């Protein structure tokens, strides 16, 4: 490892062997010294969960040329970042990147996403962070077209930094039949899943439920991630983890709460 190159932490929620994170690692190795701490199994949809009632284990993975430090963690994506910062890295990383996720993390999916929660956890620690996702849930999804853009965005963050409390959420369209049309800086769409639960009966006669649903875009704006992803642009949304509804404070102060 070189003292002159940026130190980059790589993590994800699909597991350390997922195709997406392997693609991300390759791109980050072109920019700096890479340290990988990622779940030892899929952790999609875990959000910002952390492990409080079980032990956490870190298992080093053998890398053939010794150029990387890779650790598989038994915990959640947020656990991975916490352990990386406190136990694996001797000094804080210059950048944390999470992904590339197999599946979209646009609009409301940010709330549920383990990929984005890992990036947010690093952001909470004051580390510039980016979450990357490809709108393709297939295990063998093709990340080739995303690679140069991943490297470009990460390079710009290393050069320019990010304000405290801000993390970038980047989504790539699924279509690879034509080149991406560019990057659009945009806002998170007001869109969500309308869930349904299929009730089934197990071979033992017990009821169980399987979550399904339909994605509904309620946002007619032309400045959202969903709008531009549908038009084969890469969406880049700056997000913040301060959840205060600042515009509501003045109105709440007019309520008769202390009378």
Which spans in 50-108 are helix H? 77-83
Alpha carbon distance 183, 170 (integer Å): 9
Is 117's pLDDT higher than 80?
yes
High-pLDDT (> 90) share of the chain, % = 84
Q: Can you give the pLDDT at residue 194?
A: 86
Q: Indicate the pLDDT class of residue 1, thresholds 50, 70 and 90.
A: low
Residue 21, both tokens = 């994170």
Q: Can you give the pLDDT at residue 65?
A: 56
Q: Can you give the pLDDT at residue 63?
A: 66
Q: Indicate the pLDDT class of residue 212, thresholds 50, 70 and 90.
A: confident
Q: Can you give the pLDDT at residue 64?
A: 56
Radius of gyration of the chain (CA): 19
Alpha carbon distance 228, 118 (integer Å): 25
Q: Can you give the pLDDT at residue 177?
A: 77
Residue 137: name the closest of 223, 238, 215 by CA. Answer: 215
Helix 147-160 vs helix 19-29: crossing angle, to nearest 10: 50
Q: Can you give the pLDDT at residue 3?
A: 67
Q: Indicate the pLDDT class of residue 68, thresholds 50, 70 and 90.
A: confident
Count Cα atoms within 13 angstroms, Cβ side, for 116. 27
Q: Can you give the pLDDT at residue 211?
A: 86
Lookup result for tokens 């690692």: 25
Q: Mean of the pLDDT values across residues 203-221?
A: 90
Better pLDDT: 67 or 116: 116
High-pLDDT (> 70) share of the chain, % = 96
3-state SS assignment for residue 167:
strand
Strand duo 129-134 + 166-172: pairing: parallel
Alpha carbon distance 216, 228 (integer Å): 16
In order of their start, the domains of the chain are 7-190+220-252 (3.40.1210.10)
Q: Are 212 and 250 in contact (CB under 8 A)?
A: no
Residue 108, both tokens = 């409301």
Q: Are 202 and 220 in contact (CB under 8 A)?
A: no
Alpha carbon distance 7, 28 (integer Å): 10
Q: Can you give the pLDDT at residue 178?
A: 86
Peptide bond into 195 cis (omega under 30): no
Alpha carbon distance 13, 98 (integer Å): 8
Q: Are 125 and 119 in contact (CB under 8 A)?
A: no
Q: Mean of the pLDDT values across residues 204-215?
A: 89
Alpha carbon distance 178, 180 (integer Å): 7
Q: Can you give the pLDDT at residue 66?
A: 58
Strand duo 129-134 + 95-102: pairing: parallel
**What residues are paired with 240 via a beta bridge?**
166
> Rounded to two decimals, what is the model's pTM?
0.93
Q: Mean of the pLDDT values across residues 109-115?
A: 94
Q: What share of the chain is helix, strand, coil (3-state, %, to 5)?
A: 25, 30, 45
Q: Mean of the pLDDT values across residues 113-119?
A: 97
């Amino acid at each position: 490892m070189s003292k002159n190159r940026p130190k980059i932490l790589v993590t994800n929620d699909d597991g350390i062997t997922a195709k997406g994170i392997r693609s991300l690692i390759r791109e980050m190795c072109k920019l700096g010294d890479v340290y990988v701490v990622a779940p030892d199994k899929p952790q999609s949809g875990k959000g910002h969960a952390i492990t409080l009632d079980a032990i956490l284990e870190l298992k080093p993975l053998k890398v053939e040329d010794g150029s990387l430090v890779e650790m598989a963690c038994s915990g959640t994506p947020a656990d991975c970042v916490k352990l990386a910062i406190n136990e694996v890295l001797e000094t804080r990383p210059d950048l944390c990147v999470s992904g590339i996720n197999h599946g979209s993390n646009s609009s409301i999916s940010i709330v549920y996403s383990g990929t984005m929660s890992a990036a947010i956890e690093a952001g909470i620690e004051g580390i510039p962070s980016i979450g990357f996702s490809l709108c393709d849930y297939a295990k063998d999804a093709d990340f080739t077209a995303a690679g140069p853009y991943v490297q470009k965005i990460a390079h710009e963050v290393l050069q320019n930094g990010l304000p405290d409390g801000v993390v970038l959420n980047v989504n790539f369209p699924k279509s690879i039949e034509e080149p991406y049309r560019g990057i659009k800086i945009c806002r998170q769409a007001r869109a969500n899943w309308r869930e349904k639960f299929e009730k089934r009966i197990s071979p033992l006669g017990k009821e169980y439920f399987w979550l399904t649903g339909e994605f509904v875009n309620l946002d007619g704006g032309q400045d959202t991630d969903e709008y531009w992803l549908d038009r084969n642009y890469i969406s880049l949304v700056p997000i913040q983890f301060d959840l205060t509804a600042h515009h509501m404070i003045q109105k709440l102060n007019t309520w008769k709460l202390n009378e």
